[in-house]
């Protein structure tokens, strides 16, 4: 008999597959590894799979449903050997804090570009709102209206204010959510605030930063009592974007879509070229200055 479920945890050789919360430990026949050469992990958390159950009660994956989207561990944009962090994501949230650590707009914008490139709906969580002084509050209001005008969801949270957590819960419910953000912003604390029974460890220096670049790190899905999942990835210090070509970058800034139609050159990078619609929009104040500067800084980091 064939069963259908979702992979909620992977160790690389074993996969925990959930069917309505009931877990079966599954293995994967070697043929799948050969079939899906473009990625280093042929099955990943978030995947929907069919599996059979053997005499010993363990499962064998027989089919992997095609992915709607996926988030790579490092955004390499379709490059061979890309390692997938999680598949079939409903929303990826970049988590930042008001302070400790300081809010980083560059991190947010790099993250949003990656989400646009991978066609993943994105949101922004600004945590530790209890630490905001009036000046910080004003700044948060400004960036909230900026990002909301670009159609990104923005949630201001504090683990000390239950109502902010309840509002976040409304957005997470029944979805597969990914939390990504620097160490210490409170990703795990938010999960505990959502569901105290999870009792996850917080406040510890992430192991991630001590590991080599190619160390395999697998995400796992944390089921929410209210329905849906959240993955809590260890602090990602930088969300690398490579393999996007320079003239392509502005496609991932929604506010540049219209102005770029007015550029003289089809491959304009909106930096030094004459008759550039995007630069004109920036100079007129129609494109936010921080966003444009972050655009330029990402542009500079691209290879070609
Ligand atoms: N004041 C305040 N402190 C918070 C809040 N949320 C989390 N913290 C504190 O911030 C510290 C880091 O929280 P974590 O939840 O471990 O952060 P993390 O994002 O999971 O960090 P990594 O796992 O290292 O990536 C802890 O000391 C938390 O108590 C908040 O809303 N307000
Ligand atoms: Mg954590
Ligand atoms: Zn231009």
Q: Give yes or no for residue 179 having a pLDDT over 80.
A: yes
pLDDT at 57: 93
Nearest Cα neighbor of 98 from 154, 55, 136 is 136
CB-based contact 90:80 (threshold 8 Å): no
What's the mean pLDDT when you consider all of the chain?
Answer: 88
CB-based contact 47:7 (threshold 8 Å): yes
Mean predicted confidence (pLDDT) in 291-296: 98
Q: Give yes or no for residue 89 having a pLDDT over 50.
A: yes
CB-based contact 15:61 (threshold 8 Å): yes
Choosing from 202, 207, 220, 234 the residue with most ligand 1 atoms within 8 A of its CB, the one to mutate for a pocket test is 202
CATH number of the domain where residue 57 is located: 2.40.50.140
Check: pTM over 0.95? Answer yes or no: no
- In which residue are the tokens 């070229």 written? 273
* Pairing mode of beta strands 221-223, 229-232: antiparallel
CATH number of the domain where residue 287 is located: 1.10.40.50
235 lines ligand 1 (CB under 6 A): yes
Mean predicted confidence (pLDDT) in 134-141: 97
Length of the chain: 304
Confidence bin at 212 (pLDDT 50/70/90): very low
Same domain, 225 and 266: no
Q: Which range has the worst mean pLDDT, 28-32, 102-106, 124-128, 146-150?
A: 28-32
Confidence bin at 210 (pLDDT 50/70/90): very low
Q: Which atom of ligand 1 is nearest to the CA of 205?
A: 24
Confidence bin at 54 (pLDDT 50/70/90): very high
pLDDT at 76: 53
Choosing from 162, 184, 222 the residue with most ligand 1 atoms within 8 A of its CB, the one to mutate for a pocket test is 184
127 lines ligand 1 (CB under 6 A): yes
The Cα 118–Cα 253 span in angstroms is 13
The Cα 208–Cα 1 span in angstroms is 40
Same domain, 140 and 191: yes
Same domain, 226 and 154: yes
Mean predicted confidence (pLDDT) in 288-295: 98
Same domain, 160 and 277: no
pLDDT at 75: 53
Confidence bin at 72 (pLDDT 50/70/90): confident
Ligand 3 centroid to residue 262 C-alpha, Å: 7
* Alpha carbon nearest to ligand 1 atom 13, residue: 186
Mean predicted confidence (pLDDT) in 71-90: 73
| Segment 216-243, tens digit of pLDDT | 456 789 899 889 999 877 666 556 676 7
Nearest Cα neighbor of 98 from 120, 127, 125, 75 is 127
Q: Note down the domain range covering 116.
A: 70-232
| Segment 7-32, tens digit of pLDDT | 999 887 899 999 999 999 999 988 77
Instruction: Say how many C-beta atoms besides its own lie within 10 A of residue 122's C-beta.
Output: 24
Structure tokens at 296: 């330029």
CB-based contact 243:76 (threshold 8 Å): yes
The Cα 235–Cα 207 span in angstroms is 9
Mean predicted confidence (pLDDT) in 171-185: 93
Same domain, 81 and 198: yes
* Alpha carbon nearest to ligand 1 atom 1, residue: 128
Q: Which atom of ligand 1 is nearest to the CA of 185?
A: 19
Tell me how many domains the chain contains: 3
* Alpha carbon nearest to ligand 1 atom 30, residue: 128
User: Of 205, 232, 259, which marks where a domain is finished?
Assistant: 232
């Amino acid at each position: 008999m064939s069963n259908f479920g979702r992979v909620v945890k992977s160790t690389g050789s074993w996969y925990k597959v959930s069917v309505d919360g009931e877990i079966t430990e599954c293995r994967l026949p070697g043929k799948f590894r050969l079939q899906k050469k473009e990625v280093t992990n042929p099955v990943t958390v978030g995947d929907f799979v069919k599996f059979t159950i053997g005499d010993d009660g363990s499962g064998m994956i027989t089919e992997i449903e095609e992915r709607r989207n996926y988030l790579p561990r490092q955004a390499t944009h379709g490059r061979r050997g890309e390692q997938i962090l999680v598949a079939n994501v409903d929303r990826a949230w970049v988590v930042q804090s008001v302070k400790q650590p300081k809010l980083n707009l560059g991190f947010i914008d790099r993250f949003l570009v990656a989400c646009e490139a991978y066609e993943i709906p994105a949101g922004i969580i600004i945590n530790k709102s209890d630490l905001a002084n009036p000046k910080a509050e004003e700044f948060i209001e400004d960036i909230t209206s900026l990002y909301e005008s670009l159609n990104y969801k923005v949630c201001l949270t504090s683990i000390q204010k239950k109502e902010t957590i309840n509002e976040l819960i409304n957005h997470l419910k029944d979805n597969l959510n990914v939390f990504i953000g620097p160490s210490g912003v409170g990703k795990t604390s938010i999960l505990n605030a959502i569901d105290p029974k999870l009792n996850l460890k917080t406040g510890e220096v992430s192991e991630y930063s001590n590991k080599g670049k190619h160390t395999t790190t697998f995400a796992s899905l944390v089921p929410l009592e209210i329905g849906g999942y959240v993955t809590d990835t260890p602090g990602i210090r930088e969300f690398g974007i490579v393999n996007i070509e320079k003239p392509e970058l502005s496609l991932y800034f929604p506010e540049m879509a219209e102005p770029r139609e007015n550029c003289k050159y089809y491959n304009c990078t909106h930096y030094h070229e004459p008759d550039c619609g995007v630069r004109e929009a920036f100079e007129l104040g129609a494109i936010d200055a921080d966003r444009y500067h972050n655009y330029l800084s990402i542009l500079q980091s691209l290879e070609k």
